[in-house]
Amino acid sequence: GRQGKGYGTYAVQAVCAELRSYGAEQAYVTWEPREGGPEPFYLKLGFQLTGETIEGEIVGVRELS
């Protein structure tokens, strides 16, 4: 019921800003590949697929610079 209200976007943006403040140049995220999963959400926020998987989860990276 809370999807589509901007909470997730706000949280990801806040984490990325915090990482930037510590000098990080990239943010990484992983998710389980499944129908209806979060992949479109992360891609919309600028994460790109790395082509890697960790324990069956897809890895995405977003440049912070």
The pLDDT of residue 24: 98
| Nearest-angstrom CA–CA distance, 33 and 42 | 12
Tens of pLDDT, residue by residue over 2-46, are 677 889 999 999 999 999 999 999 999 999 999 999 999 999 999
Quote the pLDDT of residue 4. Answer: 76
What is the per-residue pLDDT for 50? 98
| Token pair recorded at residue 17 | 């800003």
* Cα 61 off chain centre by: 7
User: Which pair of tokens denotes residue 60?
Assistant: 């995405």
pLDDT of res. 34? 96
pTM, rounded to two decimals: 0.88
